[in-house]
Amino acid sequence: MCVIVSKEVDNKFILAKNRDRAYEPVIEIVHEILDGVEVAYLHDVTTDWSEGLNEFGIGIVNSALMVGRDEYEKKIVKKSGKPSKDGIKIRKSLSQKTLKSALKYALKFNGGIKGHTFVSSPLHMVSIEVTSKHNPHVELQNAENPIVRTNHGHIFTDAGYRNGIKFLSSKMRKISAEKVLNKVTDWKQISRMMRKQFFKQNSQLNMRRDTKEMFTSSQTVMNLTERILEVTIFTHKIKEYKGIVNRLPEGYNAKIKIIVNEFDGKNLEKRWHIKKDVLKIEKECKKDLLKNNKNVAITR
C-alpha cells in the first residue's frame, strides 16, 4: 500500500511516494540507458517493480488498486516464479522522450499499468485510474495544490479498499498528505513531511506505516524540473540495499542526479504532537467517511 503525490513547489514539478510493503524487499537504484534515453529508478529485485524518471523530466509513480495482490505480492511471486509485469511497463514508459509517448505506453503497453498512476513532465501531470474492471480515466491535473492518491478509488468508488479499517487508513493517509504538503515551500521538505506520524506508531492511519502487516520501506521524491531522484531507504525495513547500479556508458555525462538517504529507525522523527492538525484531519475524514462506515473508529 502506498501514498503517491504530485505537487508544484517553487516552480518545480515534483512526484513523490511512500512505498509500503508486507515483506522486506531487496532493492537497488538503477542508472542506465534504455532505448537511447537516460533513466534512473528504484528497483525492487524481489518483484521487478520500478519507479523513477528520465533525462527529459518524465517521471512515473503508482499506487495499487488491486490491493489483494499488493498485500501478498512476494508470496505470489515465490509461488508462481513470475514477477509483476508492471516493472517492465513502467521502465518502457520511462524510456520515452515525451509525455504523450510515455502516457501511450503507460496505458497500452502489455495491457497498461493498473491502479493509480501519475505520469508527469516538468510542465504537466496526468493522472490515470484504471483496473481490470474499469476503463482508464485519464485527467490533466493542476499540480499547484497537492494531488494525492492512496489505495481506494477516486473516480471508481468500487475499486481498491471500500470499507473497514483499511478503507479508513487509505482515506486518512490521503488527507494527511494533502494537509502537510500544503505547508511545503521547498521540495526538499517533502520526504520529511511524508514521514510524519500523527498517530501511534503501530496505527494503520499513519502516512509512514509501521505495523506488523504493512510498513513503509522506502520513499521516492523526483524533482522533474532539475532531474533529481531522491530515495530514502529505511534500512530496518528492507532485506538488503544493493546500492546504485551504474550501467551508463563509460565517459557518459549523466543528466540525472541521484541522492540517497538511509535511516535505521533510531534517527527518525518522532510522532507529531500537534493537536490542531490532528483534529483537523480527523474532522475532515470523519465527515467524509464515518457517516457511511459507522462501525469504523479512529484510534490514536
pLDDT by residue (tens digit) across 174-222? 999 999 999 899 999 999 999 988 888 889 999 999 998 899 999 999 9
How confident is the model over 125-146, as pLDDT tens digits?
999 999 999 999 999 998 788 9
Task: Give the whole-angstrom CA distance, residue 226 versus residue 222.
Answer: 9
Average pLDDT over residues 95-115: 97
Nearest of 211, 210, 205 to residue 289 by alpha carbon: 205
Residue 72 has pLDDT above 60, yes or no: no
If you search the block for the grid coordinates 510493503, which residue do you land on? 21
Domain-embedded: residue 225: yes
Beta-bridge mates of residue 116: 63, 129
**Does residue 186 form part of some domain?**
no
Domain around 90: 2-160+212-264
- Residue 173, domain member (yes or no): no
Binned at pLDDT 50, 70 and 90, residue 147 comes out as: very high
Q: Which long-range contacts (CB under 8 A, 24 or more apart) does 279-287 make?
A: 280/179, 281/172, 281/175, 281/176, 281/179, 281/198, 284/175, 285/168, 285/171, 285/172, 285/175
Write down the pTM of the prediction: 0.88
Helix 86-94 vs helix 99-108: crossing angle, to nearest 10: 160
In a domain, 96, yes or no: yes
β-pair partners for 12: 9
Cα 61 from Cα 51, distance rounded (Å): 6
Query: What's residue 278's pLDDT?
Result: 54
Lowest mean pLDDT among 99-108, 232-241, 270-279: 270-279
Residue 172 inside a domain? The answer is no
Q: Which of 99, 125, 143, 126 has its CA nearest to residue 9?
A: 143
Query: Is residue 204 assigned to a domain?
Result: no
Does 205 reside within a domain? no
d(CA 59, CA 78): 29
Q: Hey, which residues does 38 pair with through a beta bridge?
A: 33
> What CATH number does the domain containing 109 carry?
3.60.60
Whether residue 298 lies inside any domain: the answer is no
Overall number of domains in the chain: 1
